[in-house]
Chain A
Amino acid sequence: NAGVTQTPKFRILKIGQSMTLQCTQDMNHNYMYWYRQDPGMGLKLIYYSVGAGITDKGEVPNGYNVSRSTTEDFPLRLELAAPSQTSVYFCASKKGPGTGLSLSGNTIYFGEGSWLTVV
């Protein structure tokens, strides 16, 4: 059972380079998220999607772009990488809107993380 799969796990970028973090989930979840976590900090939401073709900004979207062409995939694009983007990136997914109180509807499943260093 794969769950949420992120690639690559580790990457070193030079300032100004671009790259895409890949994320795919096999649980047929509608909601997908990208978070970043800086050392000693909590998770900050970069972008999210409530379904194929729909994306929206989170708390810290600057310097990133996303697309959601399929239910399964939610890639995160870094354009013109900067040292401030050195972080751990987590992709996550959730089954539905979770408007009720069910644990299954509200549980967010995380990928294993991608460690990105910009030098």
Chain B
Amino acid sequence: QKEVEQNSGPLSVPEGAIASLNCTYSDRGSQSFFWYRQYSGKSPELIMSIYSNGDKEDGRFTAQLNKASQYVSLLIRDSQPSDSATYLCAVKWLTGGGNKLTFGTGTQLKVEL
């Protein structure tokens, strides 16, 4: 069973701080990794993707991947109240058809004023 695990939270950070969200996955044969943001009552939207070990930065967001340790993380710098949402980690497996993603249960982030 291929699994993706996240701490459900809520993770509370003060405005302006760095929020760190973590995700682990079970299959070393994983190909690519995605972070989706989901506001309450809304559909998920893709905010970051990463395929290679190391860091990938996009604005205030940095995705970090460590395939040897099987974890992927998302850092949000200068957190804003508008970042308050649930963040879903998703993994695309190397094997298996249909290019399916397996999603974690999500981490709820609360950015407090």
Contact = CB atoms under 8 A, between A and B. Distances in A.
B88 interface: yes
B97 A110 contact: no
Contact of B88 (A42, A48, A111): A42
B109 interface: no
Interface stretch (A18-26, A69-77, A100-108): A100-108
Given A42-B88, A103-B49, A110 B105 contact: no
A94 B99 contact: yes
Interface in B27-51: 32, 34, 42-46, 49, 51
A3 B32 CA distance: 24
Contact of A108 (B6, B42, B101): B101
B78 to A, nearest CB: 24
B90 to A, nearest CB: 8
B8 A40 contact: yes
A36 to B, nearest CB: 11
Contacts, number: 58
A103 B51 CA distance: 10
A39 to B, nearest CB: 11
Contact of A56 (B4, B42, B98, B106): B98
B51 A101 contact: yes
Contacts of B104: 42
Contacts of B6: 42
Interface of A: 31, 33, 35, 40-45, 48, 50, 56, 58, 90, 94, 97-99, 101, 103, 106-108, 110-113
Interface of B: 4, 6, 8, 32, 34, 42-46, 49, 51, 88, 92, 97-106
